[in-house]
Structure 1
Amino acid sequence: MAAFNINFLDHVAIRVKNMNTSIDWYSNVMGLKKYQLEKWGEFPVFMLSGKTGVAIFPANVDDENLNQLSKNIKIDHFAFNVSNIDFKKAQEYLHSINEPFQFQDHHYFHSIYLKDPDNHTVELTTLVVDNTFYK
């Protein structure tokens, strides 16, 4: 038994080439709400749905570029959980705005994967079996 419990994924911090482009994408495509804390200045900018989301920081484009296809140590992707109904709505919406995504059937879950403006892989996932999976 763990010494403490984790409630939920709070946020994933990402570095981006253009703060405004990424803020717009996470707002318009993913429907996240922008939060910026006065005492912290220009960044990070939090893009949240409820208590979950991403913290956006500017990248240092002068640093060495990483190979996006590498399977070495990196964040591979991050996922937002949605209901079955919202999973269908998300696909319809993404089609309507011509936002490309890939569907995958993971037996227990169905997922769609899309790329943000900096090529981070973002997943929307929904449980398609009974809820005993999480017990």
Structure 2
Amino acid sequence: MKIKGLHHMSAITADAKKNLDFYTNILGMRLVKKTVNQDSPSMYHLFYADEKGNPGTDVTFFEIPRAGKTYEGTNSISATSLRVPNDQALEYWKSRFEEFHVLYEDIREQAGRLVLPFQDFEGQRLLLISDEHNTGVAGGVPWSQSPVPSEYGIIGLGPSRFTVQNVDETTALLTDILGFKEKDRYVSETKGQPNIIIYETGEGGTGAEIHLEHRADLPKERPGRGSVHHIALRVEDEEELNEFIHKLNDNGIPNSQYVDRYYFHSVYLKDPNGLTIEIATDGPGFDTDEELEHLGESLALPPFLENRREEIESRLEPL
């Protein structure tokens, strides 16, 4: 029973059209699934990933048009990183961000790797991380039709940062229940704060890390547009997922029980600091209901929503 690494990240946008433009035309990711929030089908759920939508490469967004401003703070998933092949790619991205007027910070070193922090148009906290010296979980393959040259393209989801008030309880969840192990520590960018702890799982590397930051000096984050809703972790199949569900139940950890998301199967749980964590299977995959070469071109609905297609489409503004 093993968490293989990161599966996907899901965040909030107030503008699906601008979101689509940023993540496909500027970041060069592929829209691999245009669907709806299965729990609230009046809102879009957009999935961006590598050429095939491989698990571990997905960044997803729920559109909530009236979502307010995010007030940053603790008890949050405070940063999401995206993997690029090497250090040289960061120089390319720095020039690209200049061209497209994307807010970014200087390239810097973080735990032996180079990173390039930046924000999307809603203040989503992101950073590109170089895989120059990475070992561990393999990255994906950039889409051949991306506006970004493949040698610099985004190849997957990198370390996610958890910022919490009660670090001991989150540590216990990560290590005792989910099987992560402490790998390293690095100095916080905020003076006077404790070192940030790197936890890894599976084969390790940039595709299998959570970075844990302890911040008792901040108010709790008030989420809105530009905030992260949840992070999902990978398991191989339903058998492994069900074993984790049993483990959560045996340890009294509140969870959603088994959820069929059609493209993968999941369980959702709450971290003691209120963060939402999903455990998701690698399959069946995004080509379950669309041919690989046509992923994301039409509105895809899981079978249980198909009989409501006309109603759902009437409520969505075409992208």
TM-score range, shorter chain: 0.7 to 0.9
TM-fit CA distance, 1:83? 1.0
Q: Output the TM-score relative to the length of structure 1.
A: 0.80
Distance 1:55 1:64, change over 3 A: same
| Aligned match of 2:196 | 44
Q: Contact (CA 8 Å) 2:266, 2:280: kept in 1 or not?
A: yes
CA deviation profile, 1:69-111 (whole Å, cap 9, x unmatched): x443311101112111321221121122121111322111111
| Aligned match of 1:116 | 271
Q: 2:210 aligns with which of 51, 54, 68?
A: 54
Q: Contact (CA 8 Å) 1:23, 1:47: kept in 2 or not?
A: no
Q: 1:106 aligns with which of 251, 261, 265?
A: 261
Q: 1:72 aligns with which of 225, 228, 234?
A: 225
Higher relative contact order (CA 8 A, sep 6+): 2
Distance in structure 2 (CA, Å) of the matches to 1:76 and 1:43: 25
**Structure 2 SS opposite 1:9:** strand
Amino acid at match of 1:105: D
Identity, in percent, stands at 19
Q: What root-mean-square deviation, in Å, do the aligned CA atoms of Structure 1 and Structure 2 show?
A: 2.4
Q: 1:95 aligns with which of 249, 267, 271?
A: 249
TM-fit CA distance, 1:128? 4.2
Amino acid at match of 1:26: L
Amino acid at match of 2:196: P
The structure with the larger Rg is 2
* Count of aligned pairs: 130
CA deviation profile, 1:43-71 (whole Å, cap 9, x unmatched): 2101111221210111244x34334xx44
Runs of 5+ consecutive residues of structure 1 not aligned to the other structure = none
